[in-house]
């Protein structure tokens, strides 16, 4: 069995993978591989953010925590991005929460090292800037989507967004959890998920969802999926997804 080096693993994250070799090598000593349990909170609202994380696989939800104790997902981060943008923006805390949803392997870099690694003239700086633009576009579209589109459209969109960040066609997710992410009732998710399953677009059982017809899902989802996807493709190149179509 081959020994997997930090260099190999860094190639899993699309931002790190896009760095020129010398710059990546300067980063390597500051990258530490970490594995977290599912639902692990990477940073909580108002708490200091001490490090950024470059996911190797799976995805992290960015959540806005509400007064009633609930949380609404406003964006999703996978191997195309980095968790901890507030540090880049010059602050060590944020009103949002970052929580692991799937996967759970990332490369961790301390706030201090990240600041140096994104100094003027570095490729990392311009990549993170572009990623920040993508993420903002995702959140913006989510804002519009939450106000205008049906649960069915939003669920189809959510599955596609997650699927883009997953190596496999199946991933663990329950209706209960989806309902929290979408900000709707669990029963509402069950009903529309049942419709999507009946239409042959997905399959699921006991907390495991399988995508069986991507094209069909795209047809059922609102335009928000395509708008954001095109923005990611445009700014990060078309290779940022974990899977091929």
The residue ranges that bind DNA (CB under 7 A) are 150-152, 174-176, 183-188, 190-191, 193-194, 197, 204-207
Binding flag, residue 222, a copy of itself (CB under 8 A):
yes
Tokens of 117: 């690694």
Residue 97 phi, psi (nearest 5): -115, 140
Site string for a copy of itself, 75-94 (x = CB under 8 A): x---------xx-xxxx--x
Give min distance, CB of 228 to DNA, in A: 20
The entry of a copy of itself, DNA, none near residue 50 (CB within 5 to 8 angstroms by kind) is none
How is 153-202 classified by DSSP, letter by letter? HHHHHHHHHHHHT-SSSEEE--HHHHHHHHTS-HHHHHHHHHHHHHTTSE
- Interaction residues for a copy of itself, span 28-47 (CB under 8 A): none
In sequence order, the 6+-apart residues with CB closer than 8 A to the CB of 109 are 27, 30, 31, 32, 51, 52, 53, 54, 117
Tell me, what DSSP letter sits at residue 244? -
For 30, 116, 130, 227, the CA distances from 23, given in Å and listed in that order, are 12, 12, 18, 32
Choosing among a copy of itself, DNA, none, which partner's interface includes residue 235 (Cβ < 5 to 8 Å by kind)?
Answer: a copy of itself
- 199 touches a copy of itself (CB under 8 A): no
The entry of a copy of itself, DNA, none that residue 126 binds, CB within 5 to 8 Å by partner kind: a copy of itself
Nearer to a copy of itself, 38 or 144 (CB): 144
Q: Closest CB to a copy of itself among 230 and 243?
A: 230
Which residues within the stretch 137-156 sit at the binding site for a copy of itself (CB under 8 A)?
Answer: 137, 139-144, 146-148
Tokens of 138: 């995702």
Q: Which residues of 78-87 are buried (b: 16+ CB within 10 A; e: fewer)?
A: bbbbbbbbbb
- Contact set with a copy of itself (CB under 8 A): 62, 64, 66-67, 70, 72, 74-75, 85-86, 88-91, 94-96, 119-121, 126, 129-130, 132-133, 135-137, 139-144, 146-148, 182-184, 222-223, 227-228, 230-231, 234-235
């Amino acid at each position: 069995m081959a020994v997997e080096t930090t260099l190999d693993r860094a190639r899993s994250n699309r931002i790190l993978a896009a760095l020129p070799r010398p710059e990546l090598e300067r980063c390597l000593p500051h990258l530490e591989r970490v594995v977290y349990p599912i639902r692990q909170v990477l940073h909580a609202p108002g708490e200091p953010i001490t490090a950024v994380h470059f996911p190797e696989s799976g995805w992290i939800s960015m959540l806005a925590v509400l007064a009633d104790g609930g949380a609404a997902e406003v964006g999703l981060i996978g191997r195309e991005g980095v968790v901890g943008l507030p540090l880049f923006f010059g602050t060590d805390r944020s009103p949002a929460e970052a929580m692991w949803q799937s996967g759970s392997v990332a490369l961790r870099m301390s706030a201090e090292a990240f600041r140096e690694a994104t100094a003027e003239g570095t490729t990392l700086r311009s990549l993170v800037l572009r990623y920040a633009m993508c993420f903002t576009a995702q959140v913006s579209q989510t804002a519009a989507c939450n106000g205008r589109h049906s649960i069915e459209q939003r669920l189809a969109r959510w599955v596609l967004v997650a699927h883009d960040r997953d190596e496999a066609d199946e991933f663990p997710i329950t209706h209960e959890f989806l309902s929290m992410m979408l900000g709707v009732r669990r029963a509402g998710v069950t009903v529309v998920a049942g419709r999507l399953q009946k239409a042959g677009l997905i399959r699921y059982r006991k907390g495991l969802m399988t995508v069986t017809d991507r094209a069909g899902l795209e047809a059922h989802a609102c335009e928000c999926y395509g708008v954001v996807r095109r923005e990611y493709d445009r700014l990060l190149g078309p290779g940022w997804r974990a899977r091929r179509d």
